[in-house]
Amino acid sequence: MKTGVSVFLLCVLGFVLAVPMPVWAGQDASSLTEDVYYKTDGIPQSPPATETGSTYPQWQPLNNRIIIWLVTQQHTYFGGFVLALPLFAFLLELLGLTRRDPRAAQRYDGLGRDILRVGVVSLSVTALLGSVMLGAFITFYPVFMTYMGSTFKQMMPLYAAVFLGESFLLVLYYYSWDRLSRGAGKWVHLSIGVVANGMGVMLLLLANAWASFMMAPAGVNAEGQFLGNVWHLLHSPLWNPLNAHRFLADIMSGGAVVVAYAAYRFLKARVQEERAYYDWVGYVFIVVVVCALLPMPFAGYWLMRAVFEFRQEMGMTMMGGLLSWLFVVQATTIGALFLGINYYIWQSLGRLRDGERYHPYFKFILGGLMVSFLVWFTPHTIAMTPSEMKAMGAAQHPVIGQFGVMSAKNGAINVMICLTALSYLLYRRANRVITVPWAAAGNVATGALFVVGIANIVWVSVYGFFIPAHVRVGLSIPQGATTATVLIGGLALNHFLLKGSEVRGPIQWGGISVRGMVALFGVAATFSWVMGLMGYIRSAGRLGWHVNELMADVSPWAFTPAITFAAKMVTINMVLFWASVFFMFWLATRDKRPAVVEKDAPGMSFVQAFSREESV
């Protein structure tokens, strides 16, 4: 019901705003003006961007910005959650279809259905929050909302239609799960999932158009008037990198919540079979989250490079000026994520027989991660007082300041990615004995690939210290290519080495230590927190503008808050989101229990059967 009301309101708004207005009132059709970004000519078709201090309603003691911050961040979290869950459900259903053991296939399929059930419940909450957010903007920032609505009026009906289509397909995807569970019907059901996820991605792209336009407007003239080219309006200079960054962030954030829920249920469980089930769920989704995390630094680099190319002043404000300490905080959390993930992999060896034989190697991996972490979060320049700058002798430290250049930072994050891949490679080998004839040569090739790859990444990083900045930025390409070669080559070699290997024992799901699951919970919390922080950094990068360089924010709240205040807001938003989602997990599964004691053979539980399947 709530979803239907929200869709109806969006349709009405789109219909009202979609009234054709070929020429803005008062403009001569022959008067052409220039696009601020594309430098093409067009006829103004919307009002100019203006904002005055008298247009901000105030109700003491309410703070308009805090209200908008809370509502918008919750809507963003839930929007990403609803985007991620159907994708998870589709992947799990596909994995279930490809499993050889019917019990393992049933478990994947059942988990996918349970995840989708939470997604359907979350859809109503997302729609309700979207309606609240729309009402809040109209109430607290009416002139800004009027301008954005008139500028994007041609996209409103499309946005409403896509939202309606995704809602219908998501409900159809869930309620047809059992009806289309056999034979060709299963492939029809998977096709519904593909279309539903496609609509979700399209909705994300349309929503990102607003955010990217506010940071880097295009398709309008110097007064902010829309010039009639919808593609230019949609395709602002930051739209493509923001799409990649937000998509990966939504996958990470949505997966992190499922991981946290699995860790919570594991720690709360009193039955071994239930602990085994939630250990498995946590493992499945942390793999998904890590798959989204690995390309995230490259997406972030792409986004910030686009910011610098659009306006160097904005890039410097975000990474080397007023907001630079927030990037140091962000770098610290990213480093903590890699450390936490590797710690979880190390603890996961407890599930595997003879897994302790790889414990000594993790000391060296941890050492490499720590060195990379220290380089990764070292800033190049930061905002300093005159006395601090005098004590240092320059705007950057004469020694460790070199670690702040992009070649060093890219090198550090690429090394951390390679070492994390090496950790996973060791985990996959832990309970196996390689039997292929070329085992010795394969091990040498794998080791050489990682050593040479990491050495090349480090060498390119050091080389960046001695070349000009405009040349240095291009070093990200060979570093990224080296990392991709190490990842793909190393995992492929390991896969072929393990063909026909002798399994020393099945995976003992539930055998991970409590420390490992606590670390998993902490990693999930860090994922959600850093997503909220990066959203704030993107928004704060506009400084005193609603729409950068077009519509000024002259409200009483148009200032950049202190880091501590921003961190508190990010934490409050994360806690509210987690509390809401945990409640929805309980609501969606309160009448269901995982079938952790099903037995298809005497003396064999699901966990044993699943472990046997996964060990083959």
Q: Which of 176-180, 394-398, 448-452 has the highest mean pLDDT?
A: 448-452
pLDDT tens-digit readout, 119-164: 888 888 888 999 999 999 999 998 898 899 899 988 888 988 998 9
Residue 561 carries which DSSP code? Answer: P
What pLDDT score was predicted for residue 169? 92
pLDDT tens-digit readout, 254-278: 888 888 888 888 888 888 888 898 9
**Stretch among 6-20, 420-434, 537-551 having the lowest mean pLDDT:** 6-20
Q: Is a pLDDT exceeding 70 seen at residue 5?
A: no
- The rounded distance, in Å, linking the Cα atoms of 320 and 324 is 5
pLDDT tens-digit readout, 322-374: 787 888 888 888 888 899 999 999 999 888 888 888 888 888 999 999 999 98
Q: Is a pLDDT exceeding 60 seen at residue 13?
A: no
What pLDDT score was predicted for residue 395? 65
pLDDT tens-digit readout, 457-474: 999 888 887 777 667 777
Decide which of 22 and 243 is more confident.
243
Two tokens, residue 200:
């979700």
Query: Residue range 195-211: average pLDDT?
Result: 92
* Greatest pairwise CA separation for the chain in angstroms: 85
What pLDDT score was predicted for residue 613? 45
Query: Residue range 593-602: average pLDDT?
Result: 43
Burial of residue 381 (CB within 10 Å: 0-12, 13-18, 19+) is middle
- The rounded distance, in Å, linking the Cα atoms of 580 and 74 is 10
Cα angle 299-301-304, degrees, rounded to a multiple of 5: 110
Q: Is a pLDDT exceeding 50 seen at residue 3?
A: no
Query: Residue range 553-577: average pLDDT?
Result: 88
Query: Residue range 109-114: average pLDDT?
Result: 88
What pLDDT score was predicted for residue 209? 92
> 568 pLDDT band (50/70/90 cuts)?
very high
Q: Where are the domains of the chain?
A: 64-311+569-615
Strands (E), 40-173: 41-42
What pLDDT score was predicted for residue 26? 47
Query: Residue range 27-37: average pLDDT?
Result: 74
Chain position carrying tokens 């289309």: 180
Residue from 588, 582, 525 nearest 265 by CA:
582
Helix (H) or strand (E) holding 336: helix 324-348
- The rounded distance, in Å, linking the Cα atoms of 452 and 440 is 18
Identify whether the C-beta of residue 166 lies closer than 8 Å to the C-beta of residue 199. yes
Helix (H) or strand (E) holding 547: strand 545-547
Helix (H) or strand (E) holding 33: strand 33-34
> 318 pLDDT band (50/70/90 cuts)?
confident
Identify whether the C-beta of residue 572 lies closer than 8 Å to the C-beta of residue 72. no
Mean pLDDT (the chain, rounded): 83
Residue 220 carries which DSSP code? Answer: B
Report the percentage of the chain scoring pLDDT > 70. Answer: 86
What pLDDT score was predicted for residue 305? 86
CA–chain centroid gap for 208, Å, is: 14
- The rounded distance, in Å, linking the Cα atoms of 76 and 130 is 9
Q: Is a pLDDT exceeding 70 seen at residue 15?
A: no
Two tokens, residue 176:
């047809």
- The rounded distance, in Å, linking the Cα atoms of 183 and 168 is 24
Two tokens, residue 175:
């309620």
Q: Who contacts 98 (Cβ-Cβ below 8 Å, separation ≥6)?
A: none
Task: Identify the bridge partners of residue 605 per DSSP, sorted by sequence position.
Answer: 599
